[in-house]
Amino acid sequence: MSASVRDPAALPRLGWTLVALVLLWPLLRLTDFRPAALFDDGNLNAMGHFVGGFLPMETSPDFLALLGKATIETLAMATAGVAVAFVLAVPLGLAMTRSLSVSRLGPGRGGWIGQLLRALVRAVLAVLRGVPELVWALLFVRVFGLGAAAGVLALGITYGGMLGKVYGEILESTDDQPTRALLEAGSGRLAAFCYGLLPNAGQELVSYTVYRWECAVRASVVMGFVGAGGLGQLMDQSMKMLNGGEAATILATFLALVVAADAISELLRRRLA
């Protein structure tokens, strides 16, 4: 009788718990996990000093003017970056979409060239988005010098890869009957896209692009840490000089910016959808 009530999940559960525990130890070692470091005298002092300086927040007109400029630069960087990404992503995304393939229709050699092309595009997109935007920015700063240009290009490349991939996925998952009909009737790829796919997928495409812009604002905020302009550059300077008052004002601006980007993106998505 007792054999029949032995829990079949007991052994696997025990096993997985053991595996997790055995793995956790080296993980904690690798991350140098020492909560005590937080309460180390030196660190506590440095942090206490810095945070203690948060109040009063820095509100001198000079600094606020600087801050305003950096904020606008951050927003402009995000917007321009997503625009570059969009220009990059649209052709790549379309090239990746199987339902827009003309060769898939006909009898004949199965369109291996098309397949090769799609695989190639897929690989390019993977490389573009596989390298984080901040790494691209770090590299571009060395080519184009300090400033927002590096940030815009970096955002454009990484987000171009992301947008391209997601555009392709959205288009693939859209009902391809109308497109097929158009292609079979002999229309070109672009026309098939505009009249066959866009009506069904448009809303999702717009919504994702706007969402990416929201992410781009967050990303632009930190571009300055590698010298690519915007608010991050100010933050980096204030942090290096341990100027708590300035840091507090900049942090507050971050918060406002992120909240505003959330709201704008929500509004845009509702309007454009």
Partner 1 sequence: MNLSLEGVGLVHANGHQALRWIDLHVEAGERVALIGASGAGKTTLLRVLAAALRPSGGRLRMEGGDPWAASPAVLRQLRARIGLVHQAPPIPPRQRVVTAVLAGRLGQWPLWKSLASLVLPADAEGARRELARLDLADKLFERCDRLSGGQLQRVALARVLYQQPDLLLADEPVSAMDPALSELTVALLNEEASRRRVTLVASLHAVDLALRHFPRVVGVKDSGVLFDLPASQVTEGQLRELYAAEGGLPIAGAPASAIVDLSPLRCS
Partner 2 sequence: MKPGVTFGGLAAIVLVLAAVAGSFAYLDMPLGALFTGAAVGEAVAFVQRFFPPDLSADFLAKVGGAALETLAISLVSTLLAAVAGALLAMPAAGRQGRAVRRVARFVLNLLRSVPELVWATLMVLAAGLGPFAGTLALALHTTGVLGRLFAEALENAPPTPAEALAGSGTPAVAAFLYGTLPLVAPQWLAYSLYRWEMNIRMAAILGFVGAGGLGGLLYYSLSLFHEAEASTVILAMLAMAIAVDGASAWLRRKA
User: CB 35 → partner 1: shortest distance, Å?
Assistant: 25
Region class of 230: left (phi > 0), else alpha (psi between -120 and 50), else beta: left
* Encoded amino acid at 25, one letter: W
Pick from 9, 27, 36, 38 the residue near partner 1 by CB under 8 A: 9
User: CB 153 → partner 2: shortest distance, Å?
Assistant: 9
By beta-carbon proximity to partner 2, the closer residue of 6 and 271 is: 271
Residues found near partner 2 in the complex (CB under 8 A): 26-28, 30-34, 37-38, 40, 43, 46-47, 50, 72-73, 75-77, 79-80, 83, 126-127, 129-132, 134-135, 138-139, 142-144, 148-149, 152, 198-199, 202, 218, 221-222, 225-226, 232, 235-236, 239, 251, 254-255, 258-259, 268, 271-272
Taking residues 12 to 51 in sequence order and writing x for each that binds partner 1 by CB under 8 A, - otherwise, the string is: -x--------------------------------------
Of 2-10, 99-107, 185-193, 254-262: span binding partner 1 (CB under 8 A)? 2-10
By beta-carbon proximity to partner 2, the closer residue of 105 and 241 is: 241
For residues 76 and 155, is the Cβ–Cβ distance under 8 A?
A: no
State the virtual CA torsion across 48, 50, 52, 56 in degrees, nearest 10: -170
Pick from 5, 20, 27, 30 the residue near partner 1 by CB under 8 A: 5
Of 52, 2, 8, nearest to 245 (Cα)?
A: 52
Angle at which helix 198-223 crosses helix 148-173, to 10 degrees, equals: 150
- Per CB under 8 A, 2 contacts partner 1: yes
Q: Which residues bind partner 1 (CB under 8 A)?
A: 1-2, 4-10, 13
